[in-house]
């Protein structure tokens, strides 16, 4: 019987390893940028073409490599970061696995150019699918340039799983921002298809945040700084009033490495307790400095997860740091124990006689003069004909318009003609039918109505727009600008009208009829937030998400009083919708209360 277990060929093993390291072009960007940082570069440039599918190139002015190191860097398990297993718990660098370049070279065409400062010439190496095609000396600048072309050229199945250019570019921007935020002392540039997206000079942390997130983010930042024997915390948190529906501006760095940790995120939210609106998330840019011996970063292939040896203590420190900053800068209410001297009694004057306040009386004042004059004016302007009505104790009856229900639902439930509808608690609409009552949630009903109308506007017939006398201006960062460009046509079909005055400045000239001018920034922020995590690959999916985001914000809220005509219109329109049972979020819009159910309450 032949043996079943066989050693895999090197090129197959490299492709399997590449599957753990490289999921998409953004993974290549992350590895190359981190290598450039570890090379002590002071300026790093990222060049991308076709969202990384054609080219990802990183150029740095770091220490560079000699000919031998350049060749070894392309081998598996080759690294300059560690020498023994104990070094894994003393990490001060980004990369340490020694598989990044080897994995990338296994599934792409890679060209490496590098030179050290004291050398006259550098080294150029070209690799295709782990096979070195050429190695030669070359005249190049100090540092390293790595160009990755035709990603997944030898794995077409993986390439077919890549999303659209907009989606892949967004992931690349995410990785670029994380590295740039972790190292404000390094200058970063990013170019996509010959368009410069970022030009970040070496600066302090606040300036780096503003350079990435936009100039208006400066006024939203609250500094955080706390130092203990276990942990040092510094950075910025966003003011509670600027909290958003999405988590797009939440960054935690441990020893200058970006991580994702739900436990630490909960600690930060606990510091904002009682200050955030429902379903909103604050912005934060927090940097934790801790002894590498107390953490384990080697628990995930992408090194974005981390394990602490004392999570509870770290949780408490972060929570208290956030609370202290919010209180220190008068963002959160605090108890003031300082005395106000103006409220103190001057005991030097305790022998002084008390001053009796003087009282002035207008002896000519007659309150009945004005009342009598007003009564005479009213009697002259409107004479009373039926004086008996003044003594009537009956309460006048209010008239309500009738509502006719013309839908299959009404026929099935045997609604009475001329049934009367009314509003209950400024939240529900109540109407009677032959065998009971129907209770409708007014917000959910209007949400469903607007959703179907907006979806029709986006896909079939664009909605009308009301022009603004004074256009509104909205600042966009690179990520929201990317989302806007991909959705602009669909958003304009709902009734918005835009023009751009500069690279990241959006001018709003027209808005939909149902939208108030003061609601525009919040509505657009909700739209961009809905697409922050990912951009759908299909237009149908993006149109659905857009219609949901718009309809939910434009729908009548709980607590809004409606007149009889509005109540009738909502009920009539709801039951003419394609789906009147549930909201687009699959929540129940109404329920029936039959006479039997009512009778049981009195049993």
Task: List, for residues 43-60, the tens digit of each pLDDT value.
Answer: 999 999 999 999 999 999
* 167 and 236 both lie in a single domain: no
Where is pLDDT greater, at 517 or 192? 192
Distance between CA atoms of residues 473 and 466, nearest Å: 16
Where is pLDDT greater, at 244 or 121? 121
396, pLDDT greater than 50: no
Residue 335 lies in a domain: no
Residue 358 lies in a domain: no
Q: What is the pLDDT of residue 81?
A: 59
Q: What is the three-class DSSP state of 495? A: coil
* Rounded mean pLDDT, 329-348: 55
* 74 and 176 both lie in a single domain: yes
430, pLDDT greater than 70: yes
Spell out a b/e string for 341-380, using b for 16 or more CB atoms within 10 Å of the CB, else e. Answer: eeeeeeeeeeeeeeeeeeeeeeeeeeeeeeeeeeeeeeee
Residue 397 lies in a domain: no
Residue 346 lies in a domain: no
Give the domain range for residue 181: 10-200
Residue 352 lies in a domain: no
* 297 and 175 both lie in a single domain: no
- In terms of phi and psi (left: phi > 0; alpha: psi -120 to 50; beta: otherwise), the region of 17 is alpha
410, pLDDT greater than 50: no
Q: What is the pLDDT of residue 49?
A: 95
Where is pLDDT greater, at 193 or 163? 193
* 260 and 184 both lie in a single domain: no
Instruction: Please state, as a whole number, how many other Cβ atoms lie within 10 Å of the Cβ of residue 555.
Output: 20
404, pLDDT greater than 50: no
Would you place residue 483 in the very low, low, confident or very high pLDDT band (cuts 50, 70, 90)?
A: confident
Q: What is the pLDDT of residue 464?
A: 83
* 530 and 584 both lie in a single domain: yes
| CATH at residue 46 | 3.30.565.10
Identify the weakest region by mean pLDDT among 16-25, 365-374, 578-587: 365-374
* Rounded mean pLDDT, 212-239: 92
379, pLDDT greater than 90: no
* 122 and 268 both lie in a single domain: no
Where is pLDDT greater, at 531 or 32? 32
Provide the percentage of residues in the chain whose pLDDT is more than 70.
Answer: 77
Identify the weakest region by mean pLDDT among 64-78, 190-204, 341-355, 532-546: 341-355
* 126 and 257 both lie in a single domain: no
Where is pLDDT greater, at 411 or 279? 279
Residue 378 lies in a domain: no
* 55 and 91 both lie in a single domain: yes
Residues 123 and 113 sit within 8 Å (Cβ to Cβ): yes
Measured between alpha carbons, how far is residue 43 from residues 117, 188, 212 in Å?
A: 15, 6, 16
Where is pLDDT greater, at 358 or 206? 206
> Which of 142, 172, 200 represents a domain boundary (last residue)?
200
| CATH at residue 495 | 3.30.1370.100
Would you place residue 595 in the very low, low, confident or very high pLDDT band (cuts 50, 70, 90)?
A: confident
Distance between CA atoms of residues 210 and 477, nearest Å: 10
Would you place residue 98 in the very low, low, confident or very high pLDDT band (cuts 50, 70, 90)?
A: low
* 431 and 514 both lie in a single domain: yes
205, pLDDT greater than 90: yes
Identify the weakest region by mean pLDDT among 110-114, 243-247, 531-535, 538-542: 531-535
* Rounded mean pLDDT, 354-371: 66
Distance between CA atoms of residues 315 and 337, nearest Å: 28
Tens-digit pLDDT profile for residues 259-285: 888 889 999 999 998 888 887 889 999
Would you place residue 133 in the very low, low, confident or very high pLDDT band (cuts 50, 70, 90)?
A: very high
* 457 and 568 both lie in a single domain: yes
Distance between CA atoms of residues 483 and 481, nearest Å: 5
Q: Considering its fold, how many domains does the chain have in total?
A: 3
> Which of 264, 293, 328 represents a domain boundary (last residue)?
328
Q: What is the pLDDT of residue 376?
A: 47
Q: What is the pLDDT of residue 348?
A: 52
Strand order of the sheet with strand 284-289? Answer: 221-227, 232-238, 284-289, 250-254, 257-259
Residue 360 lies in a domain: no
Would you place residue 151 in the very low, low, confident or very high pLDDT band (cuts 50, 70, 90)?
A: very high
Q: What is the pLDDT of residue 381?
A: 44
* 160 and 273 both lie in a single domain: no
Q: Could you tell me where the beta strands, DSSP code E, fall in 417-491?
A: 421-424, 428-433, 436-441, 465-475
Residue 483: φ, ψ to 5°: -65, -45
Query: Is the pTM above the cut of 0.85?
Result: no
368, pLDDT greater than 50: yes
Q: What is the pLDDT of residue 206?
A: 94
Q: What is the pLDDT of residue 369?
A: 59
300, pLDDT greater than 80: no
Strand order of the sheet with strand 428-433? Answer: 421-424, 428-433, 436-441, 590-594
| CATH at residue 300 | 3.30.230.10
* 190 and 217 both lie in a single domain: no
* Rounded mean pLDDT, 316-327: 92
Average pLDDT score over the chain? 81
**In sequence order, what are the beta bridge partners of 466?**
511
Tens-digit pLDDT profile for residues 460-474: 888 888 888 888 888
> Which of 183, 200, 217 represents a domain boundary (last residue)?
200
Residue 68 lies in a domain: yes
């Amino acid at each position: 019987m032949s043996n079943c277990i066989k050693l895999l060929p090197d090129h197959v093993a490299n492709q399997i390893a590449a599957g753990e390291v490289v999921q998409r072009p953004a993974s290549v960007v992350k590895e190359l940028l981190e290598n450039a940082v570890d090379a002590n570069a002071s300026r790093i440039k990222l060049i991308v073409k076709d969202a990384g599918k054609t080219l990802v190139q990183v150029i740095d002015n770091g220490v560079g490599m000699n000919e031998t190191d350049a060749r070894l860097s392309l081998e598996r398990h080759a690294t300059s970061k560690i020498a023994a297993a104990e070094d894994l718990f003393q990490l001060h660098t980004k990369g340490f696995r020694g598989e990044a370049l080897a994995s990338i070279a296994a599934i792409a065409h890679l060209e490496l150019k590098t030179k050290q400062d004291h050398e006259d010439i550098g080294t150029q190496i070209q690799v295709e699918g782990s096979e070195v095609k050429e190695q030669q000396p070359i005249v190049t600048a100090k540092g390293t340039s790595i160009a990755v072309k035709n990603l997944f050229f030898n794995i077409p199945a993986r390439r077919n799983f890549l999303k659209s250019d907009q989606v892949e570019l967004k992931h690349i921007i995410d990785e670029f921002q994380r590295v740039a935020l972790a190292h404000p002392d390094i200058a970063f540039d990013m170019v996509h298809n010959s368009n410069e997206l970022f030009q970040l000079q070496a600066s302090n942390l606040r300036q780096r945040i503003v350079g990435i997130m936009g100039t208006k983010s400066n006024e939203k930042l609250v500094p955080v700084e706390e130092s203990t024997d276990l942990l040092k915390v510094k950075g910025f948190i966003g003011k509670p009033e600027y909290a958003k529906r999405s988590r797009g501006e939440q960054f935690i760095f441990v020893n200058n490495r970006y991580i994702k940790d739900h436990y630490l995120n909960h600690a930060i939210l606990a510091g904002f307790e009682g200050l955030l609106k429902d379903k909103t998330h604050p912005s934060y840019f927090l940097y934790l400095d801790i002894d590498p011996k107390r953490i384990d970063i080697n628990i995930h292939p992408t090194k974005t997860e981390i394990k602490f040896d004392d999570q509870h203590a770290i949780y408490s420190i972060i929570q208290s740091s956030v609370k202290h900053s919010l209180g220190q800068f008068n963002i959160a209410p605090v108890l003031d124990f300082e005395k106000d001297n103006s409220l103190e009694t001057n005991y030097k004057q305790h022998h002084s006689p008390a001053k009796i306040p003087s009282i002035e009386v207008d002896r000519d004042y007659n309150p009945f003069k004005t009342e009598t004059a007003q009564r005479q004016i009213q009697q002259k302007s409107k004479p009373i004909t039926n004086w008996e009505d003044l003594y009537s104790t009956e309460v006048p009856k209010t008239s309500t318009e009738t509502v006719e229900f013309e839908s299959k639902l009404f026929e099935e439930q045997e609604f009475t003609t001329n049934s009367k509808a009314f509003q209950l608690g400024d939240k529900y609409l109540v109407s009677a039918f032959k065998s009971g009552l129907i209770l409708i949630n007014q917000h959910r009903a209007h949400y469903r109505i607007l959703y179907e109308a907006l979806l029709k506007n986006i896909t079939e017939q664009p909605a009308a727009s009301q022009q603004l006398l004074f256009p509104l201006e909205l600042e966009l960062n690179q990520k929201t600008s990317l989302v806007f460009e991909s959705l602009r046509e669909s958003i304009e079909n709902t009734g918005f009208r835009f023009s751009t005055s500069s690279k990241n400045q959006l001018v709003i000239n027209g808005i939909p009829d149902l939208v108030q001018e003061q609601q525009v920034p919040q509505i657009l922020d909700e739209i961009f937030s809905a697409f922050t995590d990912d951009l759908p690959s299909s237009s149908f999916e993006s149109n659905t998400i857009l219609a949901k985001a718009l309809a939910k914000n434009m729908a009548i809220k709980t607590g809004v009083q409606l007149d009889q005509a509005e109540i009738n219109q909502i009920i009539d329109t709801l039951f003419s919708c394609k789906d009147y049972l549930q909201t687009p979020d699959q929540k129940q819009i109404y329920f029936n209360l039959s006479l039997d159910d009512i009778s049981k309450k009195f049993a």
